[in-house]
Structure 1
Amino acid sequence: MSYHSKFMRTASVVAVSALVGAAAFAAPEAGVVIGNQAVATYQNAAGDTITVTSNTVETVVQQVAGVTLTSNNSETIAPGGKAFLPHVITNNGNGPDSFALSAVEDDTGALDTTRLVFYPDANMDGVADSSTPITETPVLGNGEQFGVVIEASVASTATGTDDITVTATSLLDGAETSVNTDTLTISTDAIVELVKNMTVDPGINGIVDSGDEVTITLTYSSTGLAAANDYSVQDILDADLVYQAGSAVWSDSSVALNDDNTATTTDATNGNGETIAWDYDDAQTVGFTISSVGSGRSGSVTFKATIASTAQAGIVQNTATQTVNGAAFPPSNTAQLTVDNQYNISVADTAIDAAGAADAASNASGTDDDTLNNDVVTESTDVYQGGVVKHEFVLTNNSNVSDSLSLSVDNLDFPAGTTFRFVGSDGVTPIVGPVGPLAIGESTKVTLIAQLPTDLAPTATTDYTATVTTTSEGSGISDTSTAEFDGAILASAVDLENAVVGSEGDGAAPTNGGNPWITTTTDPGAPVTFEMLVENNGPVSDTYGLALNTPLPAGWTVEFQLADGTVVSNTGTIAAGNSLPITVVVTPADLAPPADTLIDINVASAVSGQSDSIINQVTVNEIYDVEIIQDQTVQASPGGVVDILHTVTNAGNVTIIDGAITESGLSDFSGAIFYDIDNNGVLDATDPVIDNFNDIAGGLAAGDSLSLIYRVQTPSTATVGVSEIGTITLDSTLNTTETDADTADNASSDTIQIISGDVTLTKYQYIDAACDGTVGVFTKNRLDVEPGQCVRYLVEAENTGSSAADNVLINDAAPAYTTITNCGGSCDAVLVPGTSTSTITATGVSSSHGTVLPGSKASVEFTVQVEN
């Protein structure tokens, strides 16, 4: 992540505004660089306010481990039995890591610890995915989770209750751990384990689509020493699972279970005389009761469901519950399936539902003149030359996820020169980019507007068609519909003309044999006027909108004015056979490049659609103009240096690639001009000396600026109060042969005055790892820091001059990913001198140190903590 500061210099004395922001962020990832600068201001002996900035100090965030293990389990198990204990490991570190797994019996005599085995449960449904044991997780990204199941086997002699300590340990550092405690209780009573499984065929890794058939199996195992009497299971199906009537089967019987029986009616009996009562409530709940499940007996009930057509993409989870003799036992594992993204979109003359049925009654095209629900939008109303034809379509998202739809049009046989555009459901707002996102099942209307050529020949019959395509942004699938126009083309009854004799543009002819009717040259920012005449040649009065057919370049403006200068967008009513003069004022952008720009002027009746166009042209001249701002008065100590910053701007519209940049006027003082190539406001070793614009790679583009640093050094024998004037001059000859249009701003003269005060600002840091105020060694070098650790900063202002510096102020801000802290009182801010005052918030420090004498220092120390 990079941070950039920009210094704006617009006054005669350099004013530096330092805006360093710090917000509360989540823990930064490993490798993030944290750093910033401090800034100070003071008044010298002459009363001038001087601003100085410190060096930048940086810290690099290191990778640290973090892990959370969830959750504790409590199970009842028979002597010699097994328990299955699910856990989820989460990587809470700030980089990739994997985790060692261990499970240890706390007490002795209850469990056989040699038979605590981890198995993977990647989908975290509480059921092992594989029979291959594991001892560590795969590599997990920060925030990623992984599930495991511990198979705990106990000895046949086991008694009482025992705990198992389950630990996940980071392999990154071998120290970061998280612990759960599983409790197993040995019982000779009834114990039943219930496992739920959902499978799909075809199905890949639990990924399913709507309409897929799901086989749901509820497997029960009586692992206790006593029979489980009156054993009941209830399963409330997720809304996305639609039960298939008559699909329930008991493993102990070949008789189909009856959905219509009551919850107490016997549906089947096994060979041991045990009965099952199956119940389906005709909604979302299924269940069964078995009279008795003998010790060591297992069985299952299997039924089928279908993924609902309305199922949204995502995870479908289900858990069943169980009771024995009315007492609740632990529920089953949470079985899950993942519904895949399924895309189904349409564009038509009506809304189309997921099944392909039309919804013409509530959501249909408002411009369709033929039969609805034939996937064609037909417009039959006659239009005039240059008129528009509107076709309204309905877009529908029948996907199981929200989706955005893009639009395109393919002109089949509309006349050459026809332009197309789409507008939204309001019929006005242009559609730029995809439409949406549309929710599942949502429809919206869009309108295709076909602008016919104004020179189109009138005709009594037409048969124009275009294909409209909508494409899913999520999947790339598409659908098409047809726009058809079969109305007549009427002769235009409005004529837009230039008022200049010989350049009128009579009739509906937008171009003059392919050329503009009138071309006018101008400078950037200088307006051009075209005197126009709007003629109503129709049989009735009408009003006409005034607009441009094509947008102007960025920064350009257009106004339509009446004879009295009133700005209008409509002609108002023009009687049949009358005309109205209109002035079109086009103003190029202030930095418009030299080019020819077509001005496509249009008038159109909102009532009849009649329109006419004229194309004129504006040619923008080449303008060469550079400027430097501005004269400054600065101070320097005897034998010292001062860096004076200037901004050079290309105020013309052509890139400047050549032109001398010189300095003059100094005698005892010496100076040189440097190009602040990294634009950081500080003279660096990489900043080159510059004497021509050709020293700048690519030149200085129109409208761009660059910073020059005029470094002036004074002799050590200079007397306080002595001053000299240095002048930077931009040559008036640019790009070898062109002349600067305004040479009044081509020079800047700086007065350098010898004074006795000088302040330097330096920033240091060290790491306070425990955030407890531990003292360290300050350095300006880059350091390494971990999330949660602290960085102690020292910002020191030293008066290296020969006179007092008054009103010394130091300002600094917490870098990104950090907040200012006092470590609970252990690392409070420290101010020097002790009479200094400060304002400290979570994001910034501002300290006032009064007067600092020559050779003395003022400073502020404070601490920031990296987000954890």
Structure 2
Amino acid sequence: MNALLQRLDSGWSTFLVPVLVGFVVAMTAMSVNAAAPAGTVIGNQAAATYSDGSSVVRTVTSNTVVTTVQQVASLSVAANGAKTISIGGQVYYPHTLVNTGNGTDSFALTSSNTGGFSFAAAVFYADANGDGVPDNAVPITTTGQLAAGQSFRFVVAGIVPATAVAGASNTLTATATSGFAPATTGSVTDTTTITSQAVLNVTQVLDVAAGPSPSTANRTITITYTNTGNTTATNLTLTELVPAGMTYIANSARWSGSGATVLSDADATDNQGGIVFDENVSAANRVTAVIASIPPGGSGTLSYKVSVNSGLPAGANAATAATASFSYNDGAAAVPASNTNTVQYTVLAGAQVGMTGATVTTVPQGGVVNFTNTVTNAGNATDSFDLSTLGSTFPAGTTFQFFQADGVTPIVDRNGNGVPDTGPIAAGASLNIVVRAILPPGATGGPYTVTAKATSSTDATKSASALNTLGTISANTVDLTNNGAGAAAPGYGPGPEALPVTTTPVAAGGTTRITLVLANGSGVADTFALRASTDSSFATTTLPAGWSVVFHDANGAVLDNSGLINSGANKTVYADVTVPANVSAGTTQLYFRAQSATTNASDTLHNAVIIGTVRSLTISPNHTAQLTPGGTTVYVHTLYNAGNVTEADGAIGTATAATVDSSSGFTSVVYWDKNNDGVLDASDPVVTDLSQLTGGTNGANTTAGLAPGKSARLFVKVTAPAAATSGTTNITTLSIATGGIVGAMAAPGAVSVTDTSTVVVSQVTLVKTQALDAGCDGTADTAFSPVAISSGAAPGGCLRYEITATNVGPVAVTNLVVSDSTPAYTTYSATVPASATAGTVTAPAPGARGTVQTTVTTLAPGATVVLRFGVRIDP
């Protein structure tokens, strides 16, 4: 320090003005602000689940709304100082400026002074080691660019003019002005008093300014004192509380006046050659030294060592900042205690992450697996973590997605690198995420594993992985039966059966129709190939010479597969078996197989065909549909004569058609598609007796009745009562009853089909909009819109969201849950609590993060529910 003062007094005085101010950049961020960084994109989607009219739970998602966080300027400058100084001497005041805004900024430096004597302009200098004196003679007028949270330390070294008189004082104000927002300023005030007595200038320095927690070596704090006055200073008392994040190293204190001699820690009275020293005796956890005298121009140092404790958060924390105090007698009176510069140990950020996986026992083939994983920030600073999967043993075609803990809100890329990430997680905090595996339809077996990985966004070398295990994928199944589905249907369960479950007669040279029902027992929709053979193993698809089997749907279209059948649903198809005219009477074993090309699920059904005189009518298929209150629906059925004689010829045989409705108020009427156009129109007559089937264009005889091998398309028109409530179900049964003796054969039993009508159909749409609420008063400042907000959204301000769910279907939906969550860099704002136009609303605690949702028992057709809530951008 003396050397610097000599330089100031000599050659440097030609360009140094009377007041010198120096600043130092601290190259690591201070933990002063957790504001959302400028340019951060805040965005997410809302989601809703509901049960439709078929009791199927469906999920819809909204559009994504995004907001760009605006930059705001803010700074702090500390602290005010007060010192005494000799005429013509130099005075030093240490200060620290911190960019507390949320974006990079620079700060212009200016000064002014008034009082009993005047300083000229101020000049600013760097002080890289923070020892309270300028590092060099290069003046600066700005801090340069400082990142959000970055600090800039400085000292004021003032030269007192020779015209000053003892007792006079001066007030110096140093001001920093934001380059981004010039109206934003910060300042400190230093008071200098002139004395003709002793003047002590005391500074301190830390040997290493930054490092880990705990430190790998002990750190040394050195306090330097110099008497720049005209008389001897006595009883210099130095005190310093050891910071909470540091621990004093026993017997580490040394004084320049006694060289390498160890200063006693435990005795507050022993004079060790001009110094009395103790630690933790005069005051708890405090270093105390009393130096007997310092002559004019004299100087010295006191040093001691500390260790840096473990578990400290990253940044320049109060726990690792030390400020010494000093007082003395200037030869005439006691000088009140004042502070030295503060030395700061900055804890470097250390990224660490932990992750736990999950195990799911079983899921159906082609289903979805949700693994709940926990990501823990084990580092010492807020961090976000990129999410990825690797090392998957899941079947080819499996896709993976990440969702928030609610399982419905997708995790998006928040830091702009194209990879989904957790968003910021505070040091020591944990976040649950959902790793979703969407399985391909053809996979079975297990176990399967996939590793989820979380990688630090601040240090890509730090990551953690978690194993997620699926025990088994249960195989998909299909059940092939005759004439119906379920346990009562012939052929229910795995086949082939040892004996035929259905034997169907057919006349020589004729065709018989066998009704097959395919029930998809898989977890996903599937399509099944259809085959027929006399070989139960289907090693070959073999039929007797001259035989054919053709599969049809209800409209007569030829099939070779079932078409898509939803999970848990069934479909009816028809196998038309044609035998040659010269076939011998007897029974032929016939097997039908349904097999999935994607999952290989299959079932074989054992039937038989008996050749002889046959009376057989079939009608198909069973239907399900929805209709609105007071509305109608039309079901199409095919009536087929699988026998070898005409039924209902009006002379020998008879056949009637009748319907019965299960629910009160429903009505049904049977029509014949006489013009064979597939559409119920005015030319299609009502029929109650099959003898009315004459003169049509659909292949019926020109005479009354239904000839062998011929079919008739019948319409059943069902009308619901206007007062029918949503969810009401009606079953219409159409029965065809034959009578009379034909070809010496009695009439077979009646055949029937059922049409199930449900008064329900639904669809929900979801739209999300947003608006600024800069003052966080709970009232939107602008109109709500789905358009991105690119200006005006500043840290500490708020956003308002509206999520509108609309039932665009004609009937009500049930158990509607509209969900959204607080985006990254925001918390729930309860100035105006979350609300909805309907339902029960739940939300996080004020100032917390989490899911906001409303649960609506029923949403009527055409009705909407609007969920509203606000979030506050992290300040």
TM-score (ref. length: structure 2)? 0.41
- Is the radius of gyration larger for structure 1 or structure 2? 2
TM-score (ref. length: structure 1)? 0.41
